[in-house]
Structure 1
Amino acid sequence: MTEKHTEKYGDTYEVVVVGGGAAGLSAALVLGRARRRTLVVDAGEPRNAPAAHMQGYLTRDGMSPADFLAKGREEIARYGVELVRDRAVDVTRDGDFTVALAGGRTVRARRLVIATGLRDELPDVAGLAERFGRDVLHCPYCHGWEVRDQAFGVLATTPMSVHQALIVSQWSKDVTLFLHRTAEEELSDEDLRRLAAAGVAVVPGEVSGLVVADDRLTGVRLAGGAPSREGTTHALEVLFVAPRAVPQTDLLRRLGAQLRETPFGAYAEVDETGLTTVPGVWSAGNVMGMAEQVVNAAAGGYRAGVTINGELLMADLDAAVRV
């Protein structure tokens, strides 16, 4: 948004987009091109920041997440969209929406896009967080090709860990499932049959930490359990782990939006366009689903932007007819 445009409309916008990741920027791009007064509030905490590259996005495969977002910010600026580096801390509705920012600014909007994503909480294992996004990974579709045929480990942290071990075996025939704090008895007969068929080794015992040499993961160390396993080191080159997903739904909750409970957290209930159960509020990206990759998030933001523009147009035309 140009300085002149800001002076004319002050802190009132047609659409405020909360979240400056792929979903939020995509919605803002559509709305800016549709000549809508749009503000993006970006807290600057993208989920994929630890990763050096992103994959699976046609024509952007291998691009760094930071470069992707920088390019997106450049693109929305061409169409007069304003972006502010701040955090939305409250939202209320009295016809339009009022969004309070951490920096003290308050903005108004006719429509909202909530694209606040989710936060990954890693298991409490020494050294895990420092290597996340490098050789500690969570998604084989994001990183599997780059680490193919290396020695994989999978840290069991959820009921889906067996499934994760089976999936990653597509990228390597050297896969070990470390049960960590999961009891061997918790694996079903079907789990064991499938793991055996995939050639996945199963190692009981809690993982106490990572083994790193020359800034490369070389193994994991067990601790506790049977004395024969105390301090045992298992060599590997890549460790897959499933973080605990924490959807950033505070603003949606404040608005009274309905959330759907899943084994991986509570996510926004939306229709096919991203519209939540609160009229005038759309959601896109990981705040509406854990499995939304960058390409999905961008598509969701696009759908929301197109729908919002059409709704605003019809609302204004109907208001003009009534005059």
Structure 2
Amino acid sequence: MALTEPISQLKVQFVIISDENEGQRIDNFLITYLKGVPKSLIYRILRKGEVRVNKKRVKPEYKLKVADQLRIPPIRTAEKTQVNFSPKLQKIANLEKAILYEDDALLVINKPSGIAVHGGSGLSFGVIEAFRTLRPYAKFLELVHRIDRETSGVLMIAKKRSALKALHEQLRAKQMQKDYLALIKGDWPSECKVVQAPLLKNLLKSGERIVKVNQEGKPAETRFKVEERFGFATLIKASPVTGRTHQIRVHTQYTGHPIAFDNRYGDQAFDYQLNQTDLNRLFLHASHVRFIHPKTLEVMQLSAPLDDTLQQCLTFLRAHKSSFK
């Protein structure tokens, strides 16, 4: 049985796992064991390798085994202190769980839908403000690129100015490949592999920003590939060559195949057809990124899994595919 006494604030702790905790994820075990320690700190010490299992680093999803020896670093606990987190603060803390990769040069997360990448336009905070709050001693944290608030998936943050400069140069030289998954209306034509249509930004009186295809706009190119067909809808992979605002959303709308639950460029009748799937958000997800590491020069490929809402939508469509044809 694992130790249950309050841990010392200043000592390294060693815990032997018994059959009582076998199969439990190490992050969930530590959250229970380290009562009073913020979840954000727990995920940080796991990610940095300060927690060791049998003298080895493990990921938060590692499942404990009988006789595993855990090394837990010195941590200050908030014994007999109750902290009531506001929903906003809890949302910020949860971003630690969304980290896909981190080293001393960059940080990559699987951004949840509904969180802006930065504050502004009536929003008090975004992802970058959140991580500056979570990392108060970080000297440098800047967004490498942006994705829409409603879009989920891969988002890169530079931790050094040199890394930001190198990654921006890759973006300019089109050496960084970003792939998105989108569920769009109708049967996407297989022969439509590239859309080249200039995009022009328009600011409405309400302050809302709308982008339209316009010959006076900036050049924009998106490559498309069919991933799966459902009759009345298609799952596509979209790879933007340029990085214009709302590019994928506008290019799919321009071809007559708007993205599901797009509140700016979508189709309400199509959204209604998806009611049974319980989808309630834009089905656009930055699923994959390929780039050259700014420090090691290694070719990096990172993927972000779909959230439960998007995955459940696809599961339903696959199970009822025949009824939609």
User: Which category of TM-score, normalised to the shorter sequence, fits these structures?
Assistant: under 0.3
Higher helix share: 1
| More RCO (CA 8 Å, sep 6+) | 1
